[in-house]
Amino acid sequence: MAPKFKDGEVVLAFSGTWVSWAHTIVAYTAFISALIVGVSLHYHKIVQNEYYGYPQEWFPSVSATIGDRYPERSFFMVFIAITSGPRFTLVALWYLLTARPNSSLPKFVAFMGIFRTFTCGGWTYVTSTDDHAWHDIFMISYLVATIPWTFGCVALSPNNPRAVKYRKYIAGAFFGTLVPLIYYFIQHKVHRVPGAYTTYSFFEWALILFDVAFDAVTALDFGTFELVVRDIKGISKGKDKPINQVFGHAFSWSEAIDAVADVYNGFVFWSMLTSLGLLVWCYEVMVMVTISPFLLAIRPIRSLVVKNLRAFHFVALTGLLAYLVNDPVYRLFTVGFAIWISCLAWAATFYSEGFQAARLESKMSAWLIGLVASSVVKFANYTNNPIWPTSHAANGGWNGIGLILGVLAVLRSTRKAPITGNDLAVNGRKEGSSVLAALGIAGLVFGLHSLLSDSSTMILWVWEGYPIRGPISVPHGALTIATMGAGVTIGLFREDLARSWTFYGVGCTGAAMLTLFSHWTGYYGALLLATYLMAASVPLIGSAARKNPAITFGLGFLVYNFMVLFHVWVVAYAFVPGGPFVREHTDWVMTTTMLLIGCGVFSAVSSSPASQKKQSNAYRSPRKQRSYYLYSLGFLQLLSVSIAFLRFPTNDYVPYHKDDKIFTAGIWTIHFSLDNDMWSSEYRMRDVIKELEIDVIGLLESDLQRIIMGNRDTTQFLAEDLGMYVDYGPGPNKHTWGCALLSKFPIVNSTHHLLPSPVGELAPAIEATLDVYGEMIDVFVFHSGQEEDPEDRRLQSEYLSKLMGASPRPSILLSYLVTKPLEGNYNTYVSETSGMHDIDPSDWDRWCEYILYKGLKRTAYARVSRSTITDTEIQVGKFLVGTPAEASAEARDARTEESQVPAGMRFPAMFRGEGVRGHRYHVFDEPRYFA
């Protein structure tokens, strides 16, 4: 049966009311019957979770009810199978009711309806007991598909006010329920709050009720056996609906592929730009490669670039070949050349399409969605980008595939030559101040790069330690990505709003909240700022594209480069002339960024052409191509939600030797997770930490959330892969090089400290309390000041000594002290004030790393060489919990042979002799054991 269109009339010779009610009744029966049977037969078992049971938890979750026990599982499966028939029929009828000539949206919604029906069968018949991974995959797919199905049904609803009202109410309730659902799940899974899972279960059941109720509303649309919708003005074809101005066209695979190719080109640009900082070490001048658009001031060069955009974009792909260059310097020059060409090509692309509204919008959309794609890819890869020049096959790189896709994308996206007119003479295109537009581009690109090139950056700005009182990188990184997508959509559909001073005020408010506040308050500001930056990109780039490109993009990138240096100097003030003037002034960086963007807003508002003002709202000038970019954006949003679900912390971590009640603690300076050959070192670090069976480790020089470090977070990969809790330490807005703590044991509480540093760089420290086999133990992770600043180090030693001495619990210091054993500040750290003891006072060959302890039985100590991972070794010690500490110095110094130590308390034998992969016991060539 197919819909017939004639004179605005659509005739469906079928009644769907009974289908809608049958679907609703049988679906509810499936869940309610399982609940009744489950509560009757296995109540105490289905309310039990991994932490608590009855009476703390007293109501079962949906998954426990329908999948864990027989026979309730069978009741559910039988009735949900019966539901499938009405369900498929309902989807088909909905398509017949909403189908319109040359419109792709109804087909897409119908496809999502069928897809989620199949995935429902997947998580129903493959339970978590059968195959946990596939059960989760089907469940995630179902939940993700519900989003476009719900919004699509609302957008396509016939002119039935009652049905539309119910759909909006129920959809709002459904998505509103997700907020407390996630909150209480985190309370249960992360904080282990008794009763939280019961509350979570109520919201989970509410989702089921709303989900089925939403589809039940179709009964109001399927009113008779012969459903006739008559519209003599063609309103039923959706001509006057804004949503159909974009989506109301026949789907074209050719145009969809064009959009995907454009977005991938944008992704490649951001991938290369964000990789430059990783390679710049000691060659800071290379940050200036982005100023190549200055060449567009020369008319022959401008004409050459505009007429050969395909060639220039193709040459820019040399940056994706950089992973084949082993020498770090030559690899840097390769990437620098590629970025030089890429910035030139993109500036010329924007400029050449400057007065072709639809074409310019497509390129801007590609560039912005390319940034979203970059963030999503990094979200999926633990903040690393698999096509960066620091990646290769051994550490998770996909460089070869990235290059092949890049070649195909360039060939596809540049097949349409730009409309060049009279060689795009600059003199005929001036609209307002090009300098103000350039300043706007500078602030915009810096804001996008420094804050939005990774979904966890702003989350770590507001992170203050345990207990968790704000967002965490996973899953809330998906929320950052969602607001980025919302910003792009606002910019495209409401460009007049995006360029307004009112909306600029919203962006400034968000920037202030992010800068001044922590926890959720600061993050709400971050979401406002993310939305604003993405939305404002549309009018600001559009304004710059209609002006002199040598100024708007050349000068814009030059000022952006100074902003990049500025935001590094606030931390690295000790290494640059005049650095102390800007030390610790991230607030100045943020203020400057927003002022620069304000200049761009002024230029966009004052110079907007009349034609653009008439089309300020996107739906006033329908552009079919826009739909494909929004499809791409929607796909990325759904992908980020799926990634967040799959990466959600399990918090069920197990120490290596729990039966022996022993734990291994270590300290390692990781040199920003780049090895000596400038390859990303996370995988190599993971391997040696796992093989050494380290339960608690402090990492120093670990804050990578800056442009110069690639906006990364090594602790995400290590924590998830090794199964550890993590405290990132002082965030990127705290002006340190970072310290982090990874632990197999729950982190009960943690406090971040910035130690006195009147001359040199700020010294970070973490003070954390761990639940180690039921005993509370304090762990301090600390990086002291530089050798050149003795007064800083003296003040820091006094501060930390008092801090450790104030702890009444057993304690461990994992540190970088910059002192010789038994001399100087060493005697402040190891003193009666601190109460701390050196793990091995006889180890005279130390300068930086030290492990100190008190109130614990120390059993072993080892030093392990770093291979080429960093410039500092690993130091590790073993401690026994539940055994009294040594009473005297003589007892502490008493050693024993390894053969006298139980096997579970020994260090691994693989690091003896030559060791493995360049890691071996060194200095004294074997572990030391203590009686």
The reply to whether 622 and 699 lie within a common domain is: no
* pLDDT-based confidence at residue 418 (cuts at 50, 70, 90): low
The reply to whether 569 and 712 lie within a common domain is: no
| Structure token pair of residue 28 | 């509810």
**The pLDDT of residue 225 is above 50:** no
Residue 653 falls inside a structural domain: no
Lowest mean pLDDT among 122-131, 308-317, 413-422: 413-422
Degrees, nearest 5: CA angle 643-644-645? 90
**The pLDDT of residue 129 is above 80:** no
d(CA 920, CA 912): 6
Q: Are β-strands 739-743 and 837-838 bridged in parallel, bridged antiparallel, or unpaired?
A: unpaired
The reply to whether 770 and 911 lie within a common domain is: yes
pLDDT tens-digit profile of 180-198? 888 888 888 777 888 888 8
The reply to whether 259 and 231 lie within a common domain is: no
d(CA 383, CA 376): 9
* pLDDT-based confidence at residue 249 (cuts at 50, 70, 90): low
Residue 806 falls inside a structural domain: yes
| Structure token pair of residue 349 | 């692309």
Residue 137 falls inside a structural domain: yes
d(CA 692, CA 755): 31
Cβ proximity of 572 and 761 under 8 Å: yes
The reply to whether 624 and 665 lie within a common domain is: no
The reply to whether 692 and 831 lie within a common domain is: yes
- How many CA atoms lie less than 13 Å away from 264 in the CB half-sphere? 24
The reply to whether 823 and 912 lie within a common domain is: yes
Residue 652 falls inside a structural domain: no
The reply to whether 242 and 268 lie within a common domain is: no
pLDDT tens-digit profile of 17-40? 767 767 778 777 888 888 888 888
How far is the CA of 781 from the CAs of 442, 689, 837, 871, in angstroms? Answer: 38, 17, 16, 19
Choose among 870, 775, 846, 767: nearest CA to 814: 767
d(CA 12, CA 158): 13
Lowest mean pLDDT among 331-345, 405-419, 476-490, 506-520: 405-419
Q: Provide, rounded to the nearest whole percent, the portion of the chain with pLDDT above 90.
A: 59
Quick one: pLDDT at residue 68?
A: 66
Higher pLDDT, 150 or 721: 721
Write out the DSSP string of 822-847. Answer: TSTTHHHHSSTTT--EES-TT----S
Choose among 753, 763, 752, 773: nearest CA to 696: 773
pLDDT tens-digit profile of 652-675? 899 999 988 999 999 999 999 999
How far is the CA of 722 from the CAs of 379, 407, 770, in angstroms? Answer: 18, 37, 17
* pLDDT-based confidence at residue 687 (cuts at 50, 70, 90): very high
Residue 500 belongs to what domain range? 252-646
Lowest mean pLDDT among 72-81, 374-383, 794-803, 843-852: 72-81
Residues recorded for the chain: 931
Lowest mean pLDDT among 67-81, 759-773, 813-827, 885-899: 67-81
The reply to whether 675 and 635 lie within a common domain is: no
d(CA 568, CA 586): 9
d(CA 164, CA 44): 42
The domain that holds 430 is classified in CATH as: 1.20.1250
Quick one: residue 622, left, alpha or beta (phi over 0 = left, psi -120 to 50 = alpha)? Answer: beta
Degrees, nearest 5: CA angle 150-151-157? 90
The domain that holds 722 is classified in CATH as: 3.60.10.10
Amino acid letter for position 444: L
Region 70-77: what's the mean pLDDT? 76
d(CA 894, CA 612): 82
Region 559-576: what's the mean pLDDT? 91
Number of domains in the chain: 3
| Structure token pair of residue 560 | 């952006």
Cβ-based neighbours of 308, under 8 Å, separated by 6 or more: none
**The pLDDT of residue 43 is above 90:** no
| Structure token pair of residue 180 | 């407390």
Quick one: pLDDT at residue 243?
A: 53
Residue 651 falls inside a structural domain: no
* pLDDT-based confidence at residue 610 (cuts at 50, 70, 90): very low
Cβ proximity of 105 and 156 under 8 Å: yes
Choose among 91, 238, 86, 233: nearest CA to 158: 238
d(CA 288, CA 291): 6
Quick one: pLDDT at residue 530?
A: 97
Give the SS3 label for residue 777: strand
**671-692 exposure pattern, b = at least 16 Cβ within 10 A, e = fewer:** bbbbbeebbbbbebbbebbebb
Residue 467 falls inside a structural domain: yes
Region 779-787: what's the mean pLDDT? 94
Write out the DSSP string of 621-669. Answer: S--TTHHHHHHHHHHHHHHHHHHHHHT--------TTGGGTEEEEEEEE
Quick one: pLDDT at residue 20?
A: 73
* pLDDT-based confidence at residue 421 (cuts at 50, 70, 90): very low
Cβ proximity of 756 and 789 under 8 Å: no
Residue 28 falls inside a structural domain: yes
Work out the burial of residue 913: count CB atoms within 10 Å of its CB; fewer than 13 is exposed, 13-18 middle, 19 or more buried: exposed
Higher pLDDT, 617 or 795: 795
Residue 803 falls inside a structural domain: yes
| Structure token pair of residue 638 | 């759904």
Q: What is the pTM of this model?
A: 0.83
Q: Provide, rounded to the nearest whole percent, the portion of the chain with pLDDT above 70.
A: 90
Cβ proximity of 737 and 571 under 8 Å: yes
Cβ-based neighbours of 786, under 8 Å, separated by 6 or more: 574, 760, 761, 792, 818
d(CA 40, CA 925): 64
pLDDT tens-digit profile of 374-403? 999 999 999 999 999 999 999 999 999 999
**Which residue is it, tokens 């408010």?**
509
Amino acid letter for position 795: L
Amino acid letter for position 366: A
The one-character DSSP state at 907 is P
Quick one: pLDDT at residue 247?
A: 56
Quick one: residue 629, left, alpha or beta (phi over 0 = left, psi -120 to 50 = alpha)? Answer: alpha
Cβ proximity of 379 and 716 under 8 Å: no
Residue 254, φ and ψ in degrees, nearest 5: -60, -45
The reply to whether 163 and 145 lie within a common domain is: yes
Lowest mean pLDDT among 122-136, 271-285, 497-511: 122-136
**The pLDDT of residue 596 is above 90:** yes
The one-character DSSP state at 553 is I
Give the SS3 label for residue 727: strand
d(CA 706, CA 28): 51
pLDDT tens-digit profile of 727-755? 999 999 999 999 999 999 999 999 999 99
pLDDT tens-digit profile of 831-851? 999 999 999 999 999 999 999
The reply to whether 357 and 453 lie within a common domain is: yes
d(CA 140, CA 778): 39
Choose among 907, 896, 901, 900: nearest CA to 874: 907
- How many CA atoms lie less than 13 Å away from 760 in the CB half-sphere? 18
**929 strand-pairing partners:** 860, 896
Choose among 384, 379, 462, 339: nearest CA to 730: 462
**The pLDDT of residue 14 is above 60:** no
Quick one: pLDDT at residue 46?
A: 79
Quick one: pLDDT at residue 250?
A: 63
Domain end residue (candidates: 622, 646, 670): 646
* pLDDT-based confidence at residue 693 (cuts at 50, 70, 90): very high
Cβ proximity of 550 and 505 under 8 Å: no
**396-423 exposure pattern, b = at least 16 Cβ within 10 A, e = fewer:** bbbbeebbebbeebbebbbeeebeeeee
What value does the mean pLDDT of the chain take? 87
Cβ proximity of 668 and 697 under 8 Å: yes
Domain end residue (candidates: 212, 246, 280): 246
d(CA 230, CA 800): 79
Longest distance between any two alpha carbons in the chain, whole Å? 101
The one-character DSSP state at 235 is G
The reply to whether 609 and 530 lie within a common domain is: yes
Degrees, nearest 5: CA angle 149-381-765? 120
**700 strand-pairing partners:** 669, 739
Work out the burial of residue 255: count CB atoms within 10 Å of its CB; fewer than 13 is exposed, 13-18 middle, 19 or more buried: middle
Residues noted as catalytic? 783
Domain end residue (candidates: 608, 624, 646): 646
**Cα 48 vs. chain centroid, distance in angstroms?**
33
Choose among 720, 678, 709: nearest CA to 870: 678
* pLDDT-based confidence at residue 812 (cuts at 50, 70, 90): very high
Region 771-789: what's the mean pLDDT? 94
**Which residue is it, tokens 């609906």?**
241
The one-character DSSP state at 241 is -
d(CA 163, CA 125): 33
The one-character DSSP state at 762 is P
Quick one: pLDDT at residue 28?
A: 78
